Amino acid sequence: MDVIARPTTQSTMNTLEGLTKKLAEFSVGLELKAIPATARDNAKISILDCLGVAVLATRQEIGERLITYAKKSAAAGTCTIWGTDVSSSEKDAAFLNGTLAHGLDYDDRNHASTYSLAVALATAETVDTSGAATLEAFIVSREVRAALDSIFAKRSSGIGPGAKGWHSNGILGPIASACAASKIFGFDVQQTTTAIGLAAGSCGALTRDGGTMAKPFRVGHAASTGVMCAQLAGAGFTSDETALEGRYGLLEALGPLPEDILTSLGNSLGREYDLEKAIRVKPFASCTASHSGVEAMLRLVETHSISPADVDVIEADIKPYPLVRAIPKRGFEGRFSLPFCLAHTLVYHRLRPDDFTDDRLREPLMIDLIGAVRHVPDCQSVSVILKSGERFNEMVKSPSDLKGWNQTAAKFLESVAGILPHNQQQRVLESVERLQDIVSIRTLSDGLRAPVS
């Protein structure tokens, strides 16, 4: 495959010409009535899941840290910080809610819902717009991100910025977020193009962040950056109109990229909708790369009577990329540690959002079992070998997802239990389900406000 630093062939140049403006035109022109019903329904599933996991995060360590920061340093405003009694400015609300949404790595596997929703809701609250306008902005952001996502599609093959350590959330997130904010603000194509241009040079995120609070921080930063870039565009700032595709633009900076990736960017935007694909709702609050192994271990412990104290070795492909915390030092790092996830599933026959604690990590049996995990590259099974020599094997399969509105609603209710009162839980469920009919977005956002503590 011909790998190039920038688009040099005539066909590539013709395809990429006007890419930045194309994203802006799509953002400005999108109308809810033109979006397929399946995409609208899937958007609501993604929104509900995102809200639930964000609210849940407020009661875990990262949420406690964020709330402390917000009360001390966030700008005053009227925007809701989900699952709390705190309000803030639209920019800081986008940051805080985006970070909370990704704080437990429990949001859907696409991850774009985090900043897309954080921006759409915060800006919608500011101008007190409708649920339909908020849904449009959310879909704009998700689809813009999808139109550029192939930049990171071949990271496992050593191609593109993902293979170098850049993470898509922080690279594409600011651009998608700027489009969402511009949509809510009612910008024209020129203003939206400016916001995209400002966002294109304001991005960054590292795969190395996985398992630390820096990873969800990049999502929150993407959201707040998108809002600020739109605000600046509205104030008359300027930027390059070819910030993505132009010489020395973002695509060249992220390169070299193969021509087939470059020519694919934005091709189906507005004709096909990524949201027509089923939302991959996570059943476990850990990195997607851990889920196949966890499910294999669950099948092992359900099928065989295995005493954890009798285990000598656990063999698996522990996927050092992207599971970068093989031996976690803090409980929350276990979300990016397959050894932790396998050991915990073996001992407790489960992996819940509140299982990733320092106390759990310090348990002697957990320490022993994490140390017993052996990396077998490209291994297609999880194997438990007892001290007696007996061996149990289970093939790994593609990870399973929660399906549809009902299963997502059950996850939402479990996530917000004890944080939001029952009447507010139902209000949020009903508001998201009929989002396109809500006159004021505060019908939804007020339901996300926790009682004053």
Decide yes or no: CATH 3.30.1330.120 for domain 288-395.
Answer: yes
pLDDT tens across 113-138, in order? 999 999 999 999 999 999 999 999 99
Question: How buried is residue 392: exposed, middle or buried, by Cβ count under 10 Å (0-12/13-18/19+)?
Answer: middle
Residue 317, H or E segment: none
Query: Measured between alpha carbons, how far is 298 from 88 in angstroms, rounded to an integer?
Result: 42
**11: pLDDT strictly greater than 60:** no
Contact between 169 and 115 (Cβ < 8 Å): yes
| Tokens 């340093």 sit on residue | 73
Nearest to 151, CA basis, from 137, 179, 136, 170 = 170
Residue 376 pLDDT greater than 50, yes or no: yes
- H or E element that contains 165: none
Q: At 94, which helix (H) or strand (E)? A: helix 90-102
Give the pLDDT of residue 13: 45
pTM, 2 dp = 0.95
Cα-only R_g, the chain: 22
Fill in the DSSP letter of residue 83: T
Is-contact 283 410, C-beta < 8 A?
Answer: no
Whole-number Å distance between alpha carbons of 448 and 420: 7
Segments of 362-419 assigned E as strands: 373-375, 381-386, 391-395
For domain 3-282+431-448, give the fold: 2-methylcitrate dehydratase PrpD (1.10.4100)
> Which residue type, as a one-letter code, is found at position 233?
A
Using the structure block, give the residue that is written with the tokens 């700032």. Answer: 237
Each domain of the chain, given as residue ranges in start order, spans 3-282+431-448, 288-395
Neighbours of 302 (CB within 10 A): 9
Q: Pairing between strand 311-316 and 381-386?
A: antiparallel
pLDDT-derived band at 16, boundaries 50, 70, 90: confident
Tens of pLDDT along 38-82? Answer: 999 999 999 999 999 999 999 999 999 999 999 999 999 999 999
- Residue 15 has a pLDDT of 59
Q: What percent of the chain has pLDDT over 70?
A: 97
Confidence bin at 266 (pLDDT 50/70/90): very high
Q: What is the mean pLDDT of the chain?
A: 95
Kindly tell me if the per-residue pLDDT of 7 is higher than 60: no
Q: Residue 293 pLDDT more than 90?
A: yes
Residue-wise pLDDT tens digits, 408-443: 999 999 999 999 999 999 999 999 999 999 999 999
* pLDDT for 356: 98
